[in-house]
């Protein structure tokens, strides 16, 4: 890096020894930025120039990840630089979008917000140990267009072909951009790791190229500085797939252009046409932006956009008459919002609210084909936690609201609920009286948080065990 950056290296090295920059992105599916600023229990920092819904966070002892607003999905904590790929891909409402390597879900949640929960968003993660974390973050965010898959890119390409309007490949990399944030990334690094990552990245891109429709866009990003994993990967890709052209990304403050001359420094003054196109990519350096290191390249697949075939899934069943009766009985008593009947589909005994245009996933491994609304048990319907987080304020009839302002004590109703313990429903001062037996939506300052069930004067706790972070 000293040889590549020259006089800038001193500032770069100093930045890597400094404090990492943390960011917060508001969930615009649930509330706008101004409303969040009005209710935020902390003062956000500077606006992130490339993301209208995001701020940097001040350095403090405040536990941003444990605040109940985070558990309610009102915001996502993310490095500001990592917010750029989804923003620069610019997905539109109604489009078909694929996040090919989606865990832990930061870019998926951003794509969901940008598409306004409309169209189709497939969030894929190949690693079994990471796909559960992805699911939790997507469920907390509450989009209505997300499908979570646990597949190899090759099987997705074989099944779908050139199906998607936009594909994001946030590729596994050597993690050099995380060096000041993650000491593990420093310990794991080696030149051999860089070379191995470059091979893996080229293979992933080869498959991703097949998933983009003519006229569609493919975005490649890494969190590393190594030219072998960035400009060199793109150069090789353009040689193999000439139908793809690099698009010029915008010049936000601190953004640097791609460095084709870094591929082979000895030829830095003899750029060819392809190398000049790679300059359309951008690099984010920690000494130039408030964020960690990133490389981003957006490419468009040439050719005329064809009329997209409307795929409908036949692999998920519709409700039986008895199941429809149970769902309607639950919804009529508990919910104050309608769900489109044609989007209610079954997978085993689980009821899902699927995206508007759900393709047939065949034999692909699908973790969730939409919003998990609940499960049919014997003679009853039991709501799932993702349904609670999909609801917006005012969309449930039976509500217990727990104020965040009174959550400082261990025995406050909110703390008790988040530990998974039952609550009395006799109108304890500071929170809403529950008078109706049955399923009740628990909220924090009006924002849905989870389920409880009132039985004989006690609100039974149905907050999922895996979410009980205060225990």
Note the CATH number of domain 398-471: 2.30.130.60
Evaluate if residue 471 carries a pLDDT over 60: no
Given this chain, do its domains 2-301 and 398-471 carry the same CATH topology? Answer: no
Rounded Cα distance between 466 and 420, Å, is 10
Instruction: Tell me the CA distances in angstroms from 417 to 62, 198, 273, 430, 468, one per residue in order.
Output: 21, 47, 61, 14, 9
**Of 70, 105, 77, whose CA–CA distance to 20 is shortest?**
77
Identify the residue with better confidence: 72 or 430.
72
The reported pLDDT for the residue numbered 469 is 46
Instruction: Tell me the CA distances in angstroms from 208 to 245, 288, 350, 412, one per residue in order.
Output: 15, 31, 31, 50
Rounded Cα distance between 105 and 298, Å, is 20
**Of 216, 434, 187, whose CA–CA distance to 308 is shortest?**
216
Evaluate if residue 302 carries a pLDDT over 60: yes
Fold type of domain 2-301? Rossmann fold (3.40.50)
297 is catalytic: no
Q: What is the mean pLDDT of residues 242-270?
A: 86
**pLDDT tens track for 354-394:** 999 899 999 999 999 999 999 999 999 999 999 999 999 99
Rounded Cα distance between 30 and 77, Å, is 16
Evaluate if residue 268 carries a pLDDT over 90: no
Give 423's pLDDT tier (boundaries 50, 70, 90): confident
Domain boundary assignment for the chain: 2-301, 398-471
**Separate counts of helices (H) and strands (E) for the chain:** 15, 22
The reported pLDDT for the residue numbered 411 is 74
Evaluate if residue 432 carries a pLDDT over 60: no
Rounded Cα distance between 166 and 368, Å, is 21
Evaluate if residue 53 carries a pLDDT over 90: yes
Q: What is the mean pLDDT of residues 5-33?
A: 95
Rounded Cα distance between 22 and 102, Å, is 20
The pairing of beta strand 164-170 with beta strand 96-99:
parallel
Rounded Cα distance between 99 and 27, Å, is 18
User: Poorest-confidence range of 117-126, 301-310, 331-340?
Assistant: 301-310
Q: What is the mean pLDDT of residues 210-237?
A: 97
Contact 165, 95 (CB under 8 A): yes
- Catalytic hit among 51, 173, 197, 223: 223
| Average pLDDT taken over every residue of the chain | 91
The reported pLDDT for the residue numbered 413 is 86
The reported pLDDT for the residue numbered 313 is 59
The reported pLDDT for the residue numbered 329 is 96
Q: What is the mean pLDDT of residues 333-337?
A: 97
């Amino acid at each position: 890096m000293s040889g590549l950056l020259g006089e800038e290296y001193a500032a770069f090295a100093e930045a890597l020894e400094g404090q990492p920059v943390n960011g917060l992105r508001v969930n615009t599916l649930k509330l706008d930025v101004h409303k969040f600023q009005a209710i935020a229990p902390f003062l956000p920092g500077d606006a992130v120039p490339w993301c209208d819904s995001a701020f940097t966070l001040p350095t403090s002892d405040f536990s941003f990840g444990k605040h109940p607003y985070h558990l309610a999905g009102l915001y996502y904590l993310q490095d500001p630089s990592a917010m750029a790929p989804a923003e620069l891909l610019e997905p539109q409402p109604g489009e078909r979008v694929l996040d090919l390597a989606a865990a832990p879900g930061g870019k998926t949640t951003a794509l969901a917000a940008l598409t306004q929960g409309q169209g189709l968003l497939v969030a894929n993660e190949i690693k079994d140990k990471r796909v559960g974390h992805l699911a939790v973050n997507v469920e907390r965010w509450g989009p209505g267009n997300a499908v979570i898959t646990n597949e190899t890119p090759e099987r997705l390409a074989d099944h779908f072909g050139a199906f998607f309007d936009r594909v994001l490949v946030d590729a596994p990399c050597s993690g050099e951009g995380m060096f000041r944030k993650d000491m593990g990334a420093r310990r794991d690094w080696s030149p051999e790791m860089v070379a191995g990552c470059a091979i893996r990245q080229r293979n992933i891109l080869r498959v991703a190229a097949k998933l983009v429709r003519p006229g569609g866009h493919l975005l490649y990003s890494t969190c590393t500085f190594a030219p072998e994993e960035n400009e060199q990967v793109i150069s090789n890709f353009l040689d193999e797939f000439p139908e793809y052209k690099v698009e010029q990304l915008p010049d936000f403050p601190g953004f640097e252009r791609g460095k084709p001359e870094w591929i082979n420094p000895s030829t830095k003054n003899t750029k060819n046409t392809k190398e000049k196109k790679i300059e359309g990519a951008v690099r984010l350096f920690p000494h130039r932006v408030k964020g960690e290191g990133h490389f981003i390249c957006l490419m468009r697949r040439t050719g005329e956009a064809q009329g997209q075939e409307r795929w409908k899934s036949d692999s998920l069943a519709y409700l039986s008459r008895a199941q429809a009766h149970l769902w309607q009985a639950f919804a009529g008593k508990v919910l104050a919002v309608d769900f489109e009947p044609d989007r209610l589909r079954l997978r085993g005994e689980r009821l899902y609210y699927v995206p508007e245009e759900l393709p047939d996933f065949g034999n692909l491994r699908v973790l969730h084909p939409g919003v998990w609304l609940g499960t049919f048990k014997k003679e009853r319907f039991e709501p799932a936690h993702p349904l609670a987080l999909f609801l917006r304020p005012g969309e449930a009839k039976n509500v217990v609201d727990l104020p965040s302002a009174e959550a400082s004590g261990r025995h406050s109703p909110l703390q008790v609920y988040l530990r998974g313990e039952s609550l009395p429903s006799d109108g304890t001062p500071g929170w809403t009286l529950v008078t109706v037996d049955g399923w009740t939506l628990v909220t924090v300052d009006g924002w849905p948080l989870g389920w409880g069930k009132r039985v004989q004067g006690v609100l039974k706790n149905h907050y999922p065990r895996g979410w009980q972070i205060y225990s």
